Structure 1
Amino acid sequence: MARRMFYPLYQFGNPQLRVFRTDYFLTLVRPGVPLSEDTVQFRIPMEMTKVEVKDYLENIYNVPVASVRTRIQYGSMRMRDYKNCRIKKPDYKVAYVQLEVSKLRLLWQRGTLELPRSLPDPSQQICKETVSRNCLFHIILPGCRRNLSVSGLVSRDQKDH
């Protein structure tokens, strides 16, 4: 659904200039709970469907999408006005977009997509349960294991107290 554009004005004999823009906007938000490394969270308009989210990201931003899951978040009622009546915030829709990691790597190798410098080579394993969200991928180091209570790597030789 694109808005009708009235500028620039059409003059007889000239070709019509058509600019198509979407009525929607996506807001990338930080998730409240840790998600897998290939999943990102968006706030989207209530009218937007899963297919439209996928088409939007693939056609406008050239990001390969594996799947899209949506849910409707109930707006909070914590605020009160001067009469001590509850004020409800509007509901909003949340989309969880799972990216195709293999296609992202392929695009990055071709040079059409820029990813962080910490991208590992495909021969190494990818950790799905990482705590830090600083980079897109995290490499599992041999001889180490991840302790989720501590944000860092813990050696196997080190004893737990």
Structure 2
Amino acid sequence: MSTRWYPLYKRGNPQLRVFMPNFWMKLVNLEKITVPSNKVNFIISREMTKYDVKNYLEQIYKVPVLDVRTLNQMGKVRPNPFNKGQLIKDPDTRFAFVTLAPGTKFEFPDLKIDKQNEQMETSNEEVESSKQEFKKSVHASGQKYRPGVPTFFGL
């Protein structure tokens, strides 16, 4: 079910149209539970049904789906830390537990977190070296009372 409105066909309009649903799916790895290799968990749009999830995976991603089970989970209600008399409710979520066809296995993709950490370390080293070069250039200019301030600011 889509909430988008498309204009009616009029003579001269392009006849090929693609209707995209307002659905989204987020792949989730539940680390607390051991799951067989043919089961996958998703957080899905609240408007999606079991049949929407199955069609979405089969027709867009060409994944053979055997069964889909959904679960609505209420958001937590907690006190507002800024206003003592009010309560805050977190948004509700909907889960889809998908069982793939026999013989298909699913493995979570490798996210390459190690490369990102290495890039972060090298960027930190570059920042430190640039700070040291700046300090050397400031001390070389001979300003002792206002280091780091350009000379045209002085009176």
Q: TM-score, normalised by structure 2?
A: 0.57
Q: How does 1:74-89 map to 2 (within 5 A)?
A: 74-78=74-78, 80-84=80-84, 85-89=86-90
Corresponding residue for residue 41 of structure 1: 41
Q: CA RMSD in A?
A: 2.8
Tell me if structure 2 keeps the 8 A contact 1:81–1:87: no
State the 1:5 CA deviation. Answer: 4.4
How far apart, in 2, do the equivalents of 1:79 and 1:37 lie?
40
| Secondary structure at 1:19 match in 2 | coil
- Residue 60 (1) aligns with residue 60 (2): yes
How far apart, in 1, do the equivalents of 2:96 and 2:66 lie?
13
How far apart, in 2, do the equivalents of 1:88 and 1:24 lie?
23
- Structure 1: gaps of 5 or more residues: 106-114, 117-132, 136-161
Question: Larger C-alpha radius of gyration, 1 or 2?
Answer: 2
Percent pairwise identity: 41
Higher share of residues assigned helix: 2
- Structure 2: gaps of 5 or more residues: 111-155
State the 1:15 CA deviation. Answer: 3.8
Q: Deviations over 1:66-120 (max 9, x none)?
A: 1011111121224624112331102111110011142x37xxxxxxxxx87xxxx
The alignment covers a number of residue pairs equal to 107
| Secondary structure at 1:21 match in 2 | coil
